[in-house]
Chain A
Amino acid sequence: MSGKPKLHYFNGRGRMETIRWLLAAAGVEFEECFMETKDDFTKLQKNGFLLFQQVPMVEIDGMKMVQTRAICNYIAAKYNLYGKDLKERALIDMYVEAIMDLNELFMTHPIQPADKKEQHFATIVDKATNRYFPVYEKVLKDHGQDFLVGNQFSRADVQLLEILLIAEECKPDILAKFPLLQSFKARISNIPTIKKFLQPGSQRKPPLQEKDLPKVMKIFY
């Protein structure tokens, strides 16, 4: 046993990507075990490794953790990315929960039926630019600090950067009206652990290609 956290998922972003971001941001090396086929998944389920028969699953500190939020919460707390007290934690939670709502929309886009895709895309862009991004722009404007919460790097910054990059992949000029988010993006990307994660060859996963979708679906359905 290496002592490093071990991630069980398919070789793609999905619900595991945020966990990869947090571990990378914290400078924690991790291993990955990729499910390629339904058999790989069934094997994990039959071994009793998956509390609710689902992935993500992360082997960490003697636990087989499941539930994305639980895993993210544990990593953030363990590596001091969760604020200094209950109130900072509350702010961080509010910010990351909303980011996760937006991320759900992005994540479910590839599986929309063809006739609904365009409308769905429009909804995502609308929500990102009218509901979510303005909030983070205002937070940064109001306190003028480098980080979202408590003048200290936290998971909120990591997760916001993650979603900003995802949004730009979908629509390259989506940050046009958000100057502070643009400088936030540059600033956080320069943090050494983040910078490393953003370089080619890291464990960061690319966006799901249309052609790979059937293979992923076969694992689960």
Chain B
Amino acid sequence: MSGKPKLYYFDGRGKMESIRWLLAAAGVEFEEEFLETQEQYEKLLQGGFLLFQQVPMVEIDGMKMVQTRAILSYIAAKYNLYGKDLKERALIDMYVGGTDDLMGFIMMFPFLSAEDKEKQRAVIVQKATSRYFPAYEKVLKDHGQDFLVGNRFSWADVHLLEAILMVEEKKSDVLSGFPQLQAFKTRISSIPTIKKFLEPGSQRKPVPDDKYVETVRRVLRMYYDIKAN
């Protein structure tokens, strides 16, 4: 046993990507086991590895953790990315909740029909620019600090950067009305652990493609249509 956290998921972003970002931001090396076949998944299920029969699953500190939010909260707390007290934690939780909702609109995107994809792209951009980005822009403007919470790097900063980059993949100039966020993006991207994660060859996963969708459908036997929300 290597002692490093081990991630069980598909070879793609999905719900595991935020976990990869957070471990990387904390400078924690991790291993990955990619689900390619139904048999692998069945084996994990039979072995009782997946508490609620679902992935993501992360082996960490003797636990087989499931539930994305639980895993993220654990990592954030363990590596001091969760603020210094209850109130900072509350702010971080609020901000992460927002970016989580925003990225939720993007998560289902690869599974949509071509027609629904166009509609969803518009929804993503609209929500980003009218609901979420303005909130974070204002937070940064009001306190004038480098980081979202407590003048210190936290999970909230990592999650917001991840969300910004994801939305930019859907519309490259989406930050044009948000000067604070543009500066934030540059600043956080320059943090050494983040910079390393953003370089080619890291464990960051690319934009999901048809092959990813096909793998997920095959492994989970998820052949029904996904509709946008």
List the A side residues contacting B98 at CB < 8 Å: 51-52, 67
Tell me the complex Cα distance, A109–B90, Å. 30
Q: Contact: A77 with B86, CB < 8 Å?
A: yes
Query: Which of A61, A87, A90 is within 8 Å of B87, CB to CB?
Result: A61
The answer, yes or no, to whether A74 is at the interface (CB within 8 Å) is yes
Kindly specify which of A92-100, A157-165, A167-175 makes contact with the partner chain: A92-100
Q: Contact: A74 with B74, CB < 8 Å?
A: no
Q: Contact: A94 with B51, CB < 8 Å?
A: yes
Tell me the complex Cα distance, A132–B96, Å. 26
The answer, yes or no, to whether B53 is at the interface (CB within 8 Å) is yes
List the A side residues contacting B122 at CB < 8 Å: none
Q: Contact: A86 with B74, CB < 8 Å?
A: yes
List A92-142 residues whose CB lies under 8 Å from chain B: 93-94, 97-98, 101, 131-132, 135
Proximity bits, B52-63, A CB within 8 Å = 1, else 0: 110000000101
Tell me the complex Cα distance, A152–B55, Å. 28
Q: Which 4 A-B pairs have the closest CB atoms?
A: A67-B97, A70-B93, A93-B70, A97-B67
15 residue pairs of the A-B complex, CB under 8 angstroms, read A52-B131, A52-B132, A63-B87, A67-B93, A67-B97, A68-B97, A70-B96, A73-B93, A86-B78, A87-B63, A89-B73, A90-B73, A93-B73, A94-B65, A97-B67
> Which residues of B come within 8 Å of A, CB atoms?
51-53, 61, 63, 65-70, 73-74, 77-78, 86-87, 89-90, 93-94, 96-98, 101, 131-132, 135
